[in-house]
């Protein structure tokens, strides 16, 4: 489990951007999300 820790450190340093990929999720289900989740994607 060292990889997620290393990834988090690099994100905090501004050296890495992570993009979540969701399978079998319709765009219409995501577009209307609010709060922190929705703000990060739209």
Per-residue pLDDT tens for 1-42?
A: 789 889 889 989 999 988 878 788 887 877 776 666 655 554
Candidates 42, 13, 16; CA nearest to 27 is 42
Q: What does the angle CA 17 – CA 5 – CA 18 come to, to the nearest 5 degrees?
A: 15
Is 3 a residue of the active site?
yes
**pTM score, whole prediction:** 0.49
pLDDT value of residue 30 = 73
Query: 3, 12, 29, 39: which one is catalytic?
Result: 3
């Amino acid at each position: 489990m060292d990889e997620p820790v290393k990834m988090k450190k690099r994100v905090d340093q501004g050296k890495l951007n992570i993009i979540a990929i969701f399978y079998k999720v319709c765009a219409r289900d995501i577009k209307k999300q609010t709060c922190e989740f929705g703000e990060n994607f739209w």
